[in-house]
Amino acid sequence: MGSTIAAFAFMEARRVVITGLGVVTSLGWDLDDFWDNIVNGRSGIKRITSFDPSNHKCQIGAEVEGIDFSQFFANSRDAKRAERFIQFSVTASKMASAHSGIDFSHQDPNRAGVILGTGIGGLQTVERTQRAYDEGGPSRVSTFAIPMMIANAAGGIVAMDYGITGPNFCVTSACSTGNHAIGEAWKTIRFAEADIMIAGGSESAITPLAYAGFSKMRAMSTRNDDPERASRPFDVDRDGFVMGEGAGVVILEELEHAKARGAHIICELTGYGTSADAYHPTAPHPEGLGASQCMERAMKAAKISPEKIQYINAHGTSTAHGDIAETIAIKSSFGEHAKNGLVVSSTKSMTGHLLGAAGGVELAISALALETQTVPPTINLENPDPKCDLDFVPHEAREAKIDSVLSNSFGFGGTNASLIVSRFAE
């Protein structure tokens, strides 16, 4: 055991690159269309239609509409038997794989893996199954209820579709889920447990129960008469987050593996940091201590100084305490650079907050920002909060020289995860 640990400790960490991106959001699922909507500051938030919200305090959300999931499953029956968060995961995984150009039938199945997370999982199935049970007892519960509820089902289905037999597990860490899943996949490749990983997060929590619960916490916006302007991170008039749904998935590969198959390398995943606030079940540490530590650990892993980060895709949920705590954390970790050359934006102003899927979607945005040298905007930032005093790129996207991007995800329970992507260089 000791010799194994010693050998592991002295193993040279392998480089990990991103070769494919897949997103399913209210702003689209075609990658070009999605990015066009992001850089042009379009909102995907509307009055929700999946249930009648008239008796809820929050009646708006960023719903995914108009997609035929059956085209991404082996057959339409399998698509119908999959919970919505699973449909999102499978679809985004297939899109990311297609974008990467990888053919898993030509890969060693033992050297490929899947880490797909979700913050809440099959909540729609839970609600529907409880109603069926209340109305008709045990006999009314579907045979597929449990496979549709469990959080790891998405990764299992993706692995079965591709015949992938390497590492496969699910991460569930609230709003940090997507970043944790991708970060753990990064570590899996770096330490030679796999050469290819499908990683990201998915969520489908636009349901009556979720809306009632989050609203009771006063966490959600009630700007129902103006949905597109409801998510307003860092604005003094913000009144809570707006729920989004969807998935964000990336294809990670060991550098030499990607080069050997002639893959297009979008960027390199260079850093991953985690921490815990250990402060409160839902509120962030008011001084941003956990968030700051998390960002610093990611930079240490990437072996870069704060000045080498040009853009931060902020967690920025549009909540009263969260936006201030993140601002304080950024200033603590980046010092003078925070106000001298660093730009920060929250794309949740457009996509809403996708909870466990946020990290995957926002890492895709971070990779596209690097590839296009474009910083997406924070829309609806009309009256900046004096306590949120950084350059948050209000209203319009901005061209900029970007070498590295840091993407933050902070979740209930004080769980934090930051990722860093950098322009690929030999």
**CB distance 349 to 390 below 8 Å:** no
- In whole angstroms, what separates CA 234 from the centre of its chain? 20
Calpha distance 283→159 (Å, rounded):
36
The answer to whether residue 353 is catalytic is: yes
The answer to whether residue 315 is catalytic is: yes
HSE of 277 in the Cβ direction (CA atoms, 13 Å)?
24
**CB distance 309 to 334 below 8 Å:** yes
- Which residues lie across from 196 on neighbouring strands? 112, 253
What are the Cα distances from residue 355, in Å, to 121, 129, 231, 317? 11, 23, 14, 10
Q: Which of 180, 285, 353, 388 is catalytic?
A: 353
What are the Cα distances from residue 78, in Å, to 82, 86, 90, 199? 6, 11, 11, 22
- In whole angstroms, what separates CA 167 from the centre of its chain? 20
Residue 44 has φ and ψ, to the nearest 5°, of -105, 15
Closest CA to 357 of 175, 87, 92, 232: 175
Q: Which of 267, 294, 315, 388 is catalytic?
A: 315
Q: Which of 58, 175, 267, 388 is catalytic?
A: 175
Residues found in the chain: 426
- Which residues lie across from 415 on neighbouring strands? 276, 411
What are the Cα distances from residue 39, in Å, to 35, 233, 372, 395? 6, 17, 10, 10
Catalytic residues: 175, 315, 353
